[in-house]
């Protein structure tokens, strides 16, 4: 949903101002250059621009920050997508020998889109969102962030697999592709600007993952499966996977608020029937009778849990239908294809969403519970904020006089002051904090590189 103060017709006038005075080019280059540890890393990165009238330009690449900045100021893209690091400069892909141009590596990325939850939300549909269904994005971030950082979950899974199967190939496959690569630390979470969130896993090990490994990670994290025609999209086996048990602890925390209160899944008849369809037939019939006498959703859910407990006590095969219901309504729904492909493009942080005008901003997980997508600034808002009177105007003029000694540095400092005067500032600060952590991971590699280049 677009902000009331945003008019998409003004975008051609606002984008030049945004790119000239507000876009954080310095931090952006610092991120994608990864400390310059690997030669030509930034130069071989693909960018794609979507221009006015949906003109799509792929295989853009740039030698320096200044070159990137110059081209963006010239083209004023409506949307920026980031792609892989290639074997050659992407803008020269037509000049290299056939078959030699290929993607080498890229961040491991995840795309969670609210439209994939339409079957479990009644407040909104399609591209619309509201505070009632935004909880789903909070749950998704909590579950995936813990999974990607928590190598101990994978170790538990290995023990679990060893108990269930003698297939040593499977165990060793998981060991090499998960145990070495989970325990990621450099995760950048970004609001898309409209209806979803993206995760960029920036650790070196993640960037070097093969297509097979990316597919394995994506499948490992996927649980809700099946299209629109599939009624029951979560099926648990006995014993429950350790990773799913860990995820359930988070889902159980949010389920009453999201499903029972905000979506009222056990209140309206249509939604009650959808929930009952996910249960064994004998349980469904009994609960239909019980629900005649009990109307409160919280009490109805207690009846469901009581039935599940009773069923588990009498059945030889595990019965986890209440857990399957919670997971179907709340567990993250990934666009697996986005994560699998090394050459897949994903919308860039600080890109402007043309429909809503909102900036695609980094998210601070310490403030995740209070994150409000409708409070994210629009391009209209931050451009208007530039025109507001400054405090200490005379002091600023004095500073500008000194800065004329070095026009290039002066322009950069003015740009820094510009975004700091707007509501974009706190999001750039989050980005800076992320980059500081990322830089610490480069330090060892840079020292090693420096030592190797010394002459003795």
Q: Which of 69, 107, 111, 119 is catalytic?
A: 111
What 3-state DSSP class applies to 142? helix
Beta bridge partners of 189: 199
Contact 230, 119 (CB under 8 A): no
Q: Which long-range contacts (CB under 8 A, 24 or more apart) does 252-259 make?
A: 252/326, 254/135, 254/138, 254/139, 254/330, 255/326, 255/329, 255/330, 256/298, 256/301, 257/135, 258/132, 258/133, 258/135, 258/136, 258/139, 258/329, 258/330, 259/120, 259/326, 259/329, 259/330
179: exposed, middle or buried (Cβ count in 10 Å: 0-12, 13-18, 19+) = middle
Which of 45, 35, 27 shows the shortest CA–CA distance to 81? 45
| DSSP structure string for 281-312 | HHHHHHHHHHHHH---HHHHHHHHHHHHHHHH
Say if residues 68 and 25 touch (Cβ distance below 8 Å). Answer: yes
Contact at 8 Å (CB) between 427 and 359? yes
Q: Please give the DSSP secondary-structure letter assigned to residue 47.
A: E
Beta bridge partners of 196: 113
> Quick check: helix, strand or coil at residue 59?
strand
Whether residue 273 lies in the annotated active site = no
User: Choosing from 69, 81, 107, 113, which is the catalytic residue?
Assistant: 113
- 137: closest CA among 376, 438, 426? 376
118 flagged as catalytic:
no
Q: Verify whether residue 219 is a known catalytic residue.
A: no
Structural element, H or E, at residue 111: strand 108-113
Q: What is the set of active-site residues?
A: 46, 111, 113
């Amino acid at each position: 949903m677009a902000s009331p103060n945003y008019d998409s017709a003004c975008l051609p006038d606002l984008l030049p101002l945004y790119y000239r005075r507000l876009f954080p080019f310095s931090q952006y280059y610092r991120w994608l250059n990864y400390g310059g540890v690997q030669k030509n890393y930034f130069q071989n990165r693909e960018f794609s621009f979507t221009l006015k009238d949906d003109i799509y330009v792929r295989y853009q690449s740039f030698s320096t920050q200044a070159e990137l900045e110059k081209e963006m100021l010239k083209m004023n893209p409506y949307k920026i997508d980031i792609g892989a690091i290639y074997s050659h400069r992407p803008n020269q892909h037509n000049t290299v020998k056939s078959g030699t141009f290929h993607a080498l590596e890229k961040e491991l990325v995840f795309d969670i889109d609210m439209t994939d939850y339409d079957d479990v939300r009644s407040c909104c549909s399609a591209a619309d969102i509201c505070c009632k269904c935004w909880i789903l994005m909070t749950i998704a971030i909590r579950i995936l962030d813990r999974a990607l950082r928590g190598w101990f979950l994978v170790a538990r899974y290995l023990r679990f697999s060893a108990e269930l199967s003698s297939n040593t190939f499977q165990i060793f496959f998981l060991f090499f592709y998960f145990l070495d690569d989970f325990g990621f630390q450099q995760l950048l979470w970004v609001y898309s600007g409209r209806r979803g969130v993206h995760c960029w896993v920036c650790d070196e090990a993640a960037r070097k993952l093969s297509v097979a490994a990316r597919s394995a990670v994506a499948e490992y994290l996927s649980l809700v499966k099946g299209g629109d025609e599939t009624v029951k999209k979560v099926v648990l086996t006995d014993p429950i996977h350790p990773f799913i048990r860990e995820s359930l602890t988070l889902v159980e925390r949010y389920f009453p608020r999201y499903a029972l209160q905000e979506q009222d899944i056990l209140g309206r008849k249509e939604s009650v029937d959808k929930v009952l369809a996910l249960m064994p037939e004998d349980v469904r019939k009994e609960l239909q009778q019980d629900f005649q006498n009990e109307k409160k959703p919280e009490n109805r859910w207690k009846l469901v849990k009581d039935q599940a407990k009773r069923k588990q006590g009498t059945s030889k095969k595990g019965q986890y239908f209440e857990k399957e219901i919670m997971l179907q309504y709340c567990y993250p729904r990934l666009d697996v294809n986005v994560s699998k492909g090394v050459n897949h493009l994903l919308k860039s942080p600080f890109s402007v969403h043309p429909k809503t005008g909102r900036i695609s901003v980094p998210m601070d997980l310490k403030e995740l519970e209070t994150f409000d997508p409708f409070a994210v600034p629009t391009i209209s808002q931050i451009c208007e904020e530039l025109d507001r009177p400054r405090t200490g105007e005379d002091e600023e003029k004095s500073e500008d006089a000194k800065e004329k000694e070095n026009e290039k540095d002066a322009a950069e400092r003015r740009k820094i002051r510009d975004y700091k005067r707007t509501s974009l500032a706190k999001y750039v600060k989050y980005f800076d904090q992320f980059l500081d952590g990322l830089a610490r991971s480069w330090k060892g590699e840079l020292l090693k590189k420096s030592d190797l280049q010394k002459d003795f």
